[in-house]
Amino acid sequence: MTTRTRDLIFASIALVLALAIAITAFGYPVGSSYFPRTLAVLMGVLAAFFGTRTLLAPGDDATRVPPLNLTALIAAFGGIAAYVVVLQLLGYEIATYLFLFLLMFWLGAVGWLKSLILAVAFTALLNVIFFVLLGVPRPDGLVF
């Protein structure tokens, strides 16, 4: 993908987003929504202007951008989503330990034993900092 393509994608997404926000904002009473309405219109105009300028720019920019690593993306978002679901089922400690151990093991920086030790140690550390020292209420799990 070139920088030109990337910028066109951005302009398109920004324009669609501005339209969606504008449609929602215009559904609220005027007195409560003049600010988001104005901003959505501004955003749409800027996106259209940027997209047009990019399209009309000389097409000799062949600068390529690094490809996206979807594995890393899925690992991060999927991992957190699974973590939160398990947290609400099994409680904070088990969920955090499993999350840390499995992700460290998959990333392969250290072997399974070190991953296990680090996962337990860091879970304990977070537990002490947040729940003991700072008094943050522990999130409830369904089972534990």
Partner 1 sequence: MFDNMLLGLHALADPALLLAVLIGVVGGVVIGALPGLTSTMGVALLIPVTFSLPPQVGLAMLGGIYCASTYSGAISAILLNIPGTSASVATMLDGHPMAKSGEPGRAISLATFASCIGGMVSVIALLFLAPQLAEFSLRFGSPEYFLLAVFGITVIASMSAGAMEKGLIAGALGLILSTVGTHPLTGTMRFTGGVPTLFDGIPLVVSLIGLYSIPEVIDLIDRAKGTQSGAAGVDKTSPFGTLRELGRQKFNLLRSSLIGIVVGIIPGVGCSVGGFLAYDAAKKGSKTPERFGKGASEGLVASETGNNAVTGGTLIPLLTLGIPGNPVTAVLLGGIMIHGLRPGPELFTTNADVTYGFIFSLFLSNLLFVPVGLLLARYGLRVVQVPAGILAPLILSLAVIGAYSLRSSVDDIWIMLAIGALGWGMAALAVPRAPLVLGLVLGTLAEGELARSLALVRGDLGAFAVQLVTRPVALVILVLCVSAIIHGIIQHRRNSKMLE
**Segment 83-112, which members bind partner 1 (CB under 8 A)?**
83-84, 87-88, 92, 96, 99-100, 103-104, 107-110
Computed on alpha carbons and rounded to an integer, the radius of gyration of the chain in Å comes to 23
Distances (CA, A) of 65 to 8, 22, 118: 13, 32, 36
CA quadruple 75, 80, 133, 142: dihedral, nearest 10: -140
> Binding residues for partner 1, per CB under 8 A?
3, 6-7, 9-10, 13-14, 17, 21, 24-25, 28-29, 31-33, 35-36, 39-40, 42-43, 46-47, 49-50, 53, 65, 68-69, 71-73, 75-77, 79-81, 83-84, 87-88, 92, 96, 99-100, 103-104, 107-110, 118, 122-123, 126, 129-130, 134-137, 139
